[in-house]
Amino acid sequence: MKKHYKTLGLQEGASQQEVQEAYDRLSKELDPANNDNQEFFIEEYKKVQEAYKALHNSSILATDKGAKYPTKTPKKTTTDKTKAVSPQKNKITKKTKLIFTVLGGILAIGMGLYMFSASQPKFSKLDGLVYESQSTRWMNTDISNNIIYVKDNMKPFSGTLSKIGDNYDGNFVDGKKNGLHKEYYYSALVREGRFENGTPVGVHKNWYSNGQLQMEVTFSKGKREGLSKKWSQEGDLLSLDFDQNKILDYMTNYLNSSKTLNIVEGSYDEKKYKFSIIKIFDKYYAIMTNNFRNGNQDSNPQNKTFYIGDVKAIFSSTQEINKYAGWDFSFGAKIPLNVEYNIIDNSIAIGVYTFFKKK
């Protein structure tokens, strides 16, 4: 009985009502039909059914308040402390010791087997598959969206990978991803997204190992739609795109259609690179509108390549008019900066550099 209570997440002796509520909740959460018929949910769902069958209307649930056990009032007797222990009591004591000794031995054997199995390399289905990783500006995954094959016969793989053995959780049909797929770095979730016949759909997310969201992209029939976003490990927005490489159209439309632009917002031009400043929530973002490499020597660790949509600087308003404070990312590091807008010559000073706004 005890294991059945544990399966339902209840304490031993729970009431009929508590058993019913736990069963209703778990049967919905673990229903394989709601979880892509994954093997894990099928097995857990069976355990819940067995536990409910064993506990429902059992004698121990005779009342709604839980189990009631008869209690006996011990008889008051005077005992002679010098009286020897009876043979019957001594026999019970020896029997109890024997039971505890056997249980201790079983526990020791179980622990030994557990430690041995933990030290053995876990079987991974990935070892028997042929696949490749995929790393692009807006898609990073250990298993690409191409068809994966069984190594022994080079037939498309159909089956499920598990978090425990593969650090990957997802179902494949004829070599293609289907349903919700998750990738892990040890036990930390680092990627999650849904697929239909190998095509990404809906919101896909990547995380750093520290739990910070790294990337968020929305797909429709395999193509990016809406705003795609990338962040640093500290949570700073580092890059944007709109639909399929249309961030320039997005910013132009924003600057032309918004009726409440701050004076600092607009497009700026400099001989080497161009950028536009737009407001997202309560911060201003200087976003590159051309590709640019900061420096010419590859050996210089401070060099940084900017792509269209990358964030050059982030800043916020201060108490002083047309003055802002924030961070500069021009040299591959997060550097404090002060920003000042000059109304007379229609320019902005970012640190020691001056840029002129397009009219």
CATH architecture, domain defined by 247-357: Beta Barrel (2.40)
Report in angstroms the alpha-carbon separations of 97 from 86, 106, 107: 17, 14, 15
For the stretch 210-246, pLDDT in tens is 899 999 999 998 999 999 999 999 999 999 999 999 9
Return the top range by mean pLDDT from 85-99, 130-144, 202-216, 325-339: 202-216
Return the top range by mean pLDDT from 87-91, 163-167, 275-279, 327-331: 275-279
- Compute the Cα dihedral for 191, 193, 197, 200 and give only its sign: negative
- Which amino acid is located at 265 in the chain? E
Report in angstroms the alpha-carbon separations of 166 from 127, 170, 232, 252: 9, 10, 27, 45
CATH architecture, domain defined by 2-61: Orthogonal Bundle (1.10)
* Statement: residue 60 has pLDDT above 70: no
Q: What is the pLDDT of residue 76?
A: 46
Instruction: Name residues whose C-beta falls within 8 Å of residue 159's C-beta, 6 or more positions apart in sequence.
Output: 125, 171, 172
Indicate the burial class of 154 (C-beta count within 10 angstroms; 0-12, 13-18, 19 or more). Answer: exposed
Report in angstroms the alpha-carbon separations of 41 from 9, 27, 30, 33: 16, 10, 5, 9
Domain 2-61 matches domain 247-357 at the CATH topology level: no
| DSSP single-letter state for residue 310 | B
Higher pLDDT, 145 or 359: 145
Domain residue limits, the chain: 2-61, 125-225, 247-357
Helices (H) and strands (E) in the chain, counts: 6, 23
| Both structure tokens of 323 | 């003055």
Q: What is the pLDDT of residue 87?
A: 56
Res. 86 pLDDT band, cuts 50 70 90: low
Higher pLDDT, 75 or 199: 199
CB 253 within 8 A of CB 331: no
Q: What is the pLDDT of residue 115?
A: 65
